[in-house]
Chain A
Amino acid sequence: EVQLVESGGGLVKPGGSLRLSCTASGFIFTDNYIHWVRQAPGKGLEWVGHIKTKTAGGTTDYTAPVKGRFTILRDDSKNTVYLQMNSLRIDDTAIYYCTTFASGWWDWGQGTLVTVSS
């Protein structure tokens, strides 16, 4: 059974940085892309970005609002993907979820809350 566990959320000031983690189990981590999705309070879902497998180049893609500020990294030895968030803005406040299509459908973690406020 696929399990995804996010951690690292918290309160940060505008302009600050935070690193989220997504630790995975129940599937072959090295063979699968990992994605990040966020949801601002009371709002809909927004795809943040993803990281491909090393076999596929290990490259990343990001949605426009976070490009240049957010970086996704993976550590296959730890079955973990990181979302490094820099230059945080108030509108980055959201629950951040990681998700994967490893099983042939979408599995999601429970999310971690990031609050950007002075």
Chain B
Amino acid sequence: EIVMTQSPATLSVSPGERATLSCRASQSASNKLAWYQQKPGQAPRLLIYGASTRATGIPARFSGSGSGTEFTLTISSLQSEDFAIYYCQQYNNWPYTFGQGTKLEIK
């Protein structure tokens, strides 16, 4: 099983600043990596798939990069609606696995 490790667990950032979230895989996930945003009481919202492709309707301030075992989600200028929990997910090998999440909070 590929273990996905996200860091940091909590990230405090001021609105308008850049946020960088990391996700590491215990073995190669190739580029089969997705990022999700989740707010309380809501289903996960797909942001990025294929490591770097933005999903439909996702603002350009969200970008994904990486391949293999190291991945990054960058939010270039944080808006108030971006404060949420973010999960990475590998879908290169079954069982597909998620990271434990990074909580992005307002500084």
Q: At the interface, is chain B mostly helix, strand, loop or mixed?
A: loop
Size range of the chain B interface in the assembly: 20 to 34
With A45-B87, A45-B89 as contacts: A108 and B46 at CB distance below 8 Å: yes
Q: Does B62 contact A (CB under 8 A)?
A: no
Q: Count A interface residues, CB 8 Å.
A: 18
Q: Which residue of A lies closest to B98 (CB)?
A: A45
- CB-contacts of A17-72 with B (<8 A): 35, 44-47, 50, 61, 63
- CB-contacts of B78-107 with A (<8 A): 87, 89, 91, 94-101
With A105-B55, A106-B34, A111-B43 as contacts: A47 and B98 at CB distance below 8 Å: yes
Q: Which residue of B lies closest to A95 (CB)?
A: B43
Name the B residues within 8 Å of A111 (CB-CB): 43
**B95 to A106, Cβ gap below 8 A?**
no
Q: Write the nearest CB–CB distance from A44 to chain B, whole angstroms.
A: 5
**B95 to A44, Cβ gap below 8 A?**
no
Q: Write the nearest CB–CB distance from A32 to chain B, whole angstroms.
A: 14
User: How many angstroms between the C-alpha atoms of A60 and B96 in the bound complex?
Assistant: 13
**A105 to B46, Cβ gap below 8 A?**
yes
Instruction: Tell me which of A44, A47, A105 contacts B96 (CB under 8 A).
Output: A47
